[in-house]
């Protein structure tokens, strides 16, 4: 949960003095101190932090301070890999959404300086709502005597999806399946697409958020299973989703999950300038959503190895371990997705391409509709930083208000959406296992009611999809006509 303290910006002055500016939601206090009175503190630029993004020099900036994580690498309870992915950037919002004050006390041992100026938006001080909702949710787990990540029942779902994958794979490619019914391989391709989307909600989501058990090895196992079976990179997903979308939900031009670049593929917010082709978005959004998986399969490894960035998010140089994992999981994927069907099951290349296409289209549409619709609609908030890069509301409030929940208490919808119908709860507590969302949602809703935070909720999934289509159609009109 969010652990914001007073914002501190330290700006080095040419005369050897440090100018320290403290900002809170209501006050701005200025004080000046000399370098000699703060011997260990030096001013570090964001460019220096960005260059320190490797195992040999892993720095990170959080709330105006810069930390050297070298001595934390082997001790981090969340594992070395996660720290190395986060290094070389201002990771304030991501760090605060996953850690507590207790963790920050440990982190303070590694401070090496003050950040001159961040290049990422900063959120306002923590509100009473943020403090209370966290305390009450953690108290719930304390009363139950369980860790928020503890949910052994998830293994049943992971295994079930693995079995569906195996069955649909055989249905798509084995000779026996087409002998049973000539339509069976095509139906199996649809099931395979659904299953891959579901593995995105379960294996990928839980593994990358570290939301299943406290053991980073288990997170890694989930990630590698997903990569082997689907051919997609979980590393890119951690950058896009974990370091981009979650900390900066719905911030136009910053949240990489929302199609809001200029010129972007779609226009979903008034701050995006108008281009004539947006007039056609009410026709092309569906085909656009349907190609997501294919384009990711084709291009995302280039983001890691060639561009070293995914949209606006810099990607760190991959470690040897990461490269070895990438090579292994991709080999497994190519072996079972292409070599086995072509050379063992002896199906034609055209048939292989058609079956994969059906599977990928189903997968893309299922996944994209759910994650786009729950953030892109008229009901949610669209936080906007001011000229100083400050977002004046607190992070926790905006996480709730920038999400649209749907179909609470419908267990089947919860299963089919990987609990993302509890989107606000997921955003507030990304490290809590999804198994617990239905139980903690009433606590969150009650805290929202008490503190006047808007909780957006639709009765059914169709209500949410309807709200999404309405927004797409609205922004397909030139601004002057609306
Ligand atoms: C900016 C990047 C990060 C920094 C600087 C950081 C730092 C820390 C620190 C200092 C601690 C306390 C260590 C201790 O008590 O000895 C901690 C704990 C932890 N971190 Fe991180 N971390 C980062 C990213 C992550 C990520 C991306 C994850 C997982 C996805 C993660 C998962 C954890 C977990 C599970 C704990 C234990 C929490 C607990 O005490 O209950 N961390 N981290």
Give the per-residue pLDDT at 17. 32
**Backbone dihedral region for residue 79 (phi beyond 0: left; psi -120 to 50: alpha; all else: beta):** left
Which two tokens mark 116? 């001159």
Q: What proportion of the chain, given as a percentage, has pLDDT over 90?
A: 79
- Answer whether 120 contacts ligand 1 (Cβ < 6 A): no
Dihedral over alpha carbons 310, 399, 230, 151 (to 10 degrees): 140
pLDDT at residue 180 greater than cutoff 80: yes
> Is 427 strand, coil or helix?
helix
pLDDT at residue 147 greater than cutoff 70: yes
> Is 116 strand, coil or helix?
coil
Query: Per-residue pLDDT averaged across 16-23, rounded?
Result: 34
Query: Per-residue pLDDT averaged across 462-481, rounded?
Result: 92
Give the atom of ligand 1 at the shortest distance from the alpha carbon of 91: 1
Cβ atoms of residues 243 and 91 within 8 Å: yes
| Radius of gyration (C-alpha) of the chain in whole angstroms | 23
Confidence of residue 40 (pLDDT cuts 50, 70, 90): low
Give the per-residue pLDDT at 2. 41
Task: Provide the CA 25 distance to its chain's centre, in angstroms.
Answer: 27
More confident residue, 129 or 30: 129
Cβ atoms of residues 243 and 316 within 8 Å: no
Confidence of residue 9 (pLDDT cuts 50, 70, 90): very low
Q: Are strands 390-391 and 122-123 parallel, antiparallel or unpaired?
A: parallel
Whether the link from the prior residue into 368 is cis, omega within 30° of 0, is no
Q: Which of 68, 77, 220, 426 to mutate to test the pocket of ligand 1 (most atoms within 8 A of CB)?
A: 77
Cβ atoms of residues 424 and 133 within 8 Å: no
Query: Per-residue pLDDT averaged across 224-238, rounded?
Result: 96
From CA 295, how far away is CA 338, in angstroms rounded? 18
From CA 118, how far away is CA 155, in angstroms rounded? 41
- Answer whether 77 contacts ligand 1 (Cβ < 6 A): yes
Query: Per-residue pLDDT averaged across 344-359, rounded?
Result: 96
Task: Provide the CA 41 distance to its chain's centre, in angstroms.
Answer: 33
pLDDT at residue 259 greater than cutoff 80: no
Query: Per-residue pLDDT averaged across 389-397, rounded?
Result: 91
> Is 195 strand, coil or helix?
helix
Give the per-residue pLDDT at 262. 67
Give the atom of ligand 1 at the shortest distance from the alpha carbon of 67: 5
Q: Which of 53, 72, 89, 98 to mutate to test the pocket of ligand 1 (most atoms within 8 A of CB)?
A: 98
389: CA distance to ligand 1 center in Å? 26
**Backbone dihedral region for residue 419 (phi beyond 0: left; psi -120 to 50: alpha; all else: beta):** left
Strands (E), 87-241: 111-115, 122-123
Q: Which pTM does this prediction carry?
A: 0.89
pLDDT tens digits, 405-448: 999 989 999 999 999 999 999 999 999 999 999 999 999 999 99
Which two tokens mark 105? 């006390």
Report the range of poorest mean pLDDT among 32-36, 310-314, 355-359: 32-36
CA distance readout (Å), 130 to 74, 99, 451: 31, 14, 10
DSSP structure class, residue 304: I
pLDDT tens digits, 56-78: 999 999 999 999 999 999 999 99
Mean pLDDT of the chain: 89
Helix 281-290 × helix 349-373 angle, to 10°: 120
- Answer whether 82 contacts ligand 1 (Cβ < 6 A): yes
Which domains are assigned to the chain?
A: 7-120 (3.10.120.10), 154-241+285-368 (no CATH)
Which residue, 113, 143, 136, 120, is CA-closest to 20? Answer: 113
User: Other C-beta atoms within 10 Å of 279: how many?
Assistant: 15
Confidence of residue 482 (pLDDT cuts 50, 70, 90): low
- Answer whether 106 contacts ligand 1 (Cβ < 6 A): yes
């Amino acid at each position: 949960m969010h652990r914001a303290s007073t914002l501190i910006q330290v700006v080095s002055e040419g005369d050897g003095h440090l100018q320290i500016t403290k900002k809170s939601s209501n006050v701005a206090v200025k004080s000046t101190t000399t370098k000699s009175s703060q011997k260990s503190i030096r001013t570090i630029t964001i460019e220096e932090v960005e260059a320190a993004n490797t195992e040999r020099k892993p720095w990170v900036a959080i709330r105006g301070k810069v930390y050297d994580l070298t001595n934390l690498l082997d001790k981090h309870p969340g594992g070395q890999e996660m720290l190395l992915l986060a290094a070389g950037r201002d990771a304030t919002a991501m760090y605060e959404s996953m850690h507590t004050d207790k963790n920050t006390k440990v982190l303070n041992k590694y401070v090496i300086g003050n950040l001159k100026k961040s290049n990422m938006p900063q959120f306002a001080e923590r509100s009473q709502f943020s403090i209370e909702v966290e305390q009450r949710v953690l108290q719930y787990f304390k009363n139950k005597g369980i860790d928020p990540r503890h949910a052994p029942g998830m293994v049943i779902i992971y295994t079930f999806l693995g079995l569906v994958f195996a069955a649909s794979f055989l249905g798509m490619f084995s000779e026996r399946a087409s002998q049973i019914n000539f339509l069976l391989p095509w139906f199996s391709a649809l099931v395979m697409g659904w299953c891959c989307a579901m593995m995105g909600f379960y294996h990928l989501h839980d593994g990358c958020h570290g939301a299943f058990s406290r053991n980073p090895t288990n997170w890694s196992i989930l990630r590698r299973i997903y990569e082997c079976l689907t051919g997609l990179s979980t590393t890119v997903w951690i950058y896009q989703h974990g370091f981009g979308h979650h900390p900066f939900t719905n911030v136009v031009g910053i949240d990489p999950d929302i199609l809001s670049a200029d010129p972007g593929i779609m226009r979903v917010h008034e701050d995006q300038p108008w281009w004539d082709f947006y007039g056609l978005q009410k026709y092309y959004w569906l085909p656009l959503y349907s190609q997501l998986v294919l384009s990711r399969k084709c291009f995302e490894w280039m983001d890691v190895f060639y561009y070293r960035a995914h949209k606006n998010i810099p990607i760190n140089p991959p470690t040897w371990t990461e490269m070895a994992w990438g090579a292994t999981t991709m080999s497994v994927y190519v072996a079972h997705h292409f070599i086995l069907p072509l050379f063992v099951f002896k199906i034609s290349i055209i048939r292989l391409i058609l079956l994969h296409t059906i599977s990928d289209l189903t997968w893309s549409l299922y996944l994209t509709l759910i994650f786009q619709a729950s953030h892109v609609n008229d009901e949610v908030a669209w936080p906007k930083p001011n000229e100083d890069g400050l977002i004046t509301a607190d992070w926790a409030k905006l996480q709730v208000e920038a999400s649209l929940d749907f179909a609470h208490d419908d267990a089947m919808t919860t299963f089919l959406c990987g609990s993302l119908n509890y989107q606000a709860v997921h955003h507030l507590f990304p490290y809590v296992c999804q198994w617990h969302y239905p139980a903690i949602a009433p606590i969150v809703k009650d805290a929202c009611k008490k503190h006047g935070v808007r909780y957006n909720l639709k009765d059914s999934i169709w209500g949410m999809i309807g709200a999404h289509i309405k927004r797409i159609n609205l922004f397909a009109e030139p601004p002057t006509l609306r």
